[in-house]
Chain A
Amino acid sequence: MDHVLTMILAGGAPDALGILGRHRAKTAVPFGGRFRLIDFPLSNCVNSGSRDIYILTQYNPRSLRRHIRLGRPWDLDRDRGGVHILLPYSGAKRTSWFKGTADALAQNLDILKRSRSRYVLVLSGDHIYKMDYRELFHRHVVTGATLTMATRPMKAGDGNRFGMIEADSAGFVKRLREKPGNDFGSDASLGIYLFDREFLIDNLERISEEGKYDLLHDLIIPAIATEKVATYRFDGYWEDVGSLDSYYRANLLLVDSQPSLQLDDPAWPIYTRMENVNPAWFSADSRVERSLVGAACRIEGEVRGSVLSPRVVVEKGASVENAVLLEGCRVAAGAKVHRAILDKMTVIGEGALFSGAEGLAILGKHSILPPGSRHLGQQETSIGELEAKK
């Protein structure tokens, strides 16, 4: 993988993640009681031997930058290569935000030009999967394609969520359409592309002059007609946690004893930055079942089917069921949390109820629910909204 330069697209606003995305980049959204979404592509890179990585970002970059810093948890704190974060900047020729995925790359064309790598791997920063990019790379080299994209068979009905492809029997892409519905191919493109560097540079320059900014529509789809575009068919776990519902489900999947996404596989570690590694405390009154519990949690109540990030406190008589609690939440004595996502540092007051009932309830960062208050049913609420209601 020394011939591969990796560009991770991490600039998107997590619109569909509601209040979870209000204060952070989508790639910095916490996942699985410990990780952030960026940990998955970044760990995949390191495990695949790719150590020359740029992360392109512009939306709420602080949380992401604080997480990555010099890249030490991924062993990417290196003199040559390593990980770098690229933000829009003002220059002598032009000053603009990244206007699209292709524009983000085009604005950093000098990096692509200066690189001695023959290939460029372009990834999304917000998908959860474990992939050995060397297999994609081998497929690319063997087929002699200009562009190879990872694809995966999807469930019926998912044709409205992804870019779907039709391939010929040799595995070359014939057509690609964004969210075409169910009458198209069954395989989706996973947003993982390996380009010949020269091809990518030439085409970025061309479409940029034409005022086009989207990598998929303006560069990849047109290339299918003229270039050899191969597929690398992947059949492992892959999830785009683009909505609150899929985010919730992907988290809760992890509480099974044999989950379809194994996070502690010694052969494919997912690295992350972690400061607090204190053991968690379980009192004599604690009852915990089918759950993930993070470092330095204090559990004195009941926890079932839930994912708890570090430093969560569940007090005596409190109960947490089918919920995702991010770092530092406190569920006070006698309170109940059910079918819910609590963002960082929220407090559920004594005896309060916060439940999505049949739906899902989400409580924003730093919110405090007053003792004894009841919040039942599908909802998204935060401290600001709570105060406005007063």
Chain B
Amino acid sequence: MSLKPYGGVSVLILAGGRGERLDLLTNERAKPAVPFGGNFRIIDFVLSNCFHAGFSDVAIFTQYLPRSLEDHMGLGRAWDLDRLSGGLAYMHPYRGFDRSNWYGGTANALYENLSALEEADADHFLILSGDHIYKMDYNDLVARHETSMAQVTVAVRPVPIEQAHHFGIFEQDESGGASAFVEKPSEPKSNLASMGIYVVRKQFLLEELRRRGPSEPALDFGKDLVPNWVDEGSINLYSYDGYWLDVGTLESYFAAHRDLLGSEPVFSLDDDSWRILTSSQPRCPMHIGTTSHLEESLVSDGCRIEGSVVRSIIGPGVVIEEGAEVIDSIIMEDTHISQNCRIERSIIDKRVHVGKKCRIGGSGVGEINAEKPQALFCGLSLIARSSVLPDGFTLGRNVRWSLAAGDNAESRFPDRTIADGASAI
């Protein structure tokens, strides 16, 4: 016998995607497990939203590299999800007596776990993406859904019209209801984007999954269900105008970090009324040396800073030696930046060792990356987790680097230079 979940809501978080355009950042981890804002992971935002809203019955659907997420979330203690009743459940693809399917789409992941959804003692499912950055009180959304009598409520938000082709776009009729939905339209007729946040009445969702699930192994919310629901008139829109970001590309990932900076940041991580909870281990306070210079930057615990840090976000345990300069960059956990390096507009993953006098990145856009034009096109350079840059290497813009200690970087690149748009993998 378990308690009915708070608000009659069971939360389903979709966290199985790869996030291909984040390139090397998701080579060894799921997109929701990508570090964010120094000490956090992307998944922390939706989990913290659930915590603040009071929803404690949370199932997380994983498929791509789930261990990174499971290591981070554990039993869900950091978000108070380690519970006798409800709490955190991992929903990973599995084999059974008469089934052995990978998840072919977002709604298919739910269909493959139909029996668990049937057993849920809930009135509504709140379906979320694990890779969005925002702070939202879902109580308001659920209350509006309940009073609307609609089968489905979708949270929507205006986006700049020139970016609308990246999103699922709703068109509205005169009364404000949804009249059409197109996923990533080439010629968007509206700028009202779906936030990928759905509240669906339990019985309605189960019926839909039972009806379409068996014949559609790639069943997807955005591609298949939502357009159909719009046509049937089952959808109610919930407008939201707070901060919300889908960190789909390296460009938007980087932009989201810029939003954290400033005395009055566009998006604050340090909001006492809405703390972002995470499971990081405590470390020592950071040590700031005599030769350091810090300017408009966020620096995490356990760092040792002797060099200069400007408009950057530094993860926990990072060492920046004397004479090194880090400008407009994101440096993740336990990375070591040696003396007299200059790093500009770069994203450096965890546990990287950058040798002395290296130069990485630069201002401006430069040549687009030849191998991954979809990922590295805006001038950012990317250094993969646990890689090593020997002393004196110079890396240009839109460069990808993923060479570790035994990969003979010096003999492969005797002039120690990687030009704009090149990859060293």
Contact = CB atoms under 8 A, between A and B. Distances in A.
A303 B270 CA distance: 21
Of B39, B270, B285, chain A has the most CB atoms within 10 Å of the CB of: B285
Nearest to A34: B285
A343 to B, nearest CB: 17
Given A277-B39, A277-B278, A279-B37, A263 B284 contact: yes
A280 interface: yes
A284 interface: yes
Interface stretch (A187-195, A268-276, A346-354): A268-276
A293 B286 contact: yes
A301 to B, nearest CB: 12
Contact of B285 (A271, A276, A300, A307): A307
A68 B37 CA distance: 29
Interface string B304-341: 00100100011010000000000000000000000000
Contacts of A151: none
B86 interface: no
Nearest to A280: B299
Of B284, B296, B314, chain A has the most CB atoms within 10 Å of the CB of: B284
Nearest to A263: B284
A277 B285 contact: no
A291 B288 contact: yes
Contacts of B24: none
Interface string A302-314: 0100011110000
B269 A278 contact: yes
B297 A282 contact: yes
A29 B313 CA distance: 31
Of A281, A286, A303, chain B has the most CB atoms within 10 Å of the CB of: A281
Interface string B17-57: 00000000000000000000111000000000000000000
A289 B39 CA distance: 23
B292 A272 contact: no
B408 interface: no
A264 interface: yes
A230 interface: no
A32 B285 CA distance: 8
Interface string B272-314: 0001101010111111111010111111111000100100011
A284 B296 contact: yes
Contacts of B287: 255, 257, 291-292
Contacts of A282: 294-299, 309
Contact of B280 (A34, A277, A296): A277
A28 B38 CA distance: 29
A73 interface: yes
Contacts of A277: 39, 278, 280, 282, 300-301, 316
B39 A278 contact: yes
Interface in A78-133: none
A281 B302 CA distance: 14
Interface residues of B, number: 34
B411 interface: no
Contacts of B215: none
B282 A274 contact: yes
B295 A279 contact: no
A327 B231 CA distance: 56
A24 interface: no
Contact of B38 (A271, A279, A310): A279
B294 A34 contact: no
B270 A293 contact: no
Given A264-B302, A289-B288, A281 B282 contact: no
A45 B269 CA distance: 35
A292 B285 contact: yes
B115 interface: no
B175 interface: no
A40 to B, nearest CB: 13
B282 A271 contact: yes
Nearest to A264: B284
A290 interface: yes
A52 B269 CA distance: 39
B298 A290 contact: no
A269 B270 CA distance: 27
Interface string B337-371: 00000000000000000000000000000000000
Nearest to B282: A274
Given A279-B39, A291-B288, A300-B263, A273 B282 contact: yes
Contacts of A300: 263
Given A277-B278, A289-B289, A292-B285, A283 B296 contact: yes
Given A273-B282, A278-B269, A295-B300, A288 B288 contact: yes
Interface string A251-271: 000010100000110000011
Nearest to B39: A277
A313 B86 CA distance: 39
A292 B286 contact: yes
Of B269, B282, B298, B299, chain A has the most CB atoms within 10 Å of the CB of: B282
A310 B39 CA distance: 14
B285 A281 contact: no
Nearest to A294: B285
Contacts of B309: 282
B294 A286 contact: yes
A33 interface: yes
Interface string A327-366: 0000000000000000000000000000000000000000
A220 B148 CA distance: 77
Contacts of A288: 288, 292, 294
Contacts of A272: 282
Given A32-B284, A277-B316, A279-B299, 13 more contacts: A33-B284, A33-B285, A34-B285, A276-B275, A278-B269, A279-B301, A279-B314, A281-B270, A283-B295, A284-B296, A286-B295, A288-B288, A309-B285
Interface of A: 32-34, 73, 255, 257, 263-264, 270-274, 276-284, 286, 288-296, 298-300, 303, 307-310
25 contacts: A32-B285, A34-B301, A257-B289, A264-B283, A277-B39, A277-B278, A277-B280, A277-B282, A278-B269, A278-B270, A279-B37, A279-B38, A279-B299, A279-B313, A280-B299, A280-B300, A281-B263, A281-B297, A281-B298, A282-B295, A288-B288, A292-B286, A292-B287, A295-B301, A307-B285
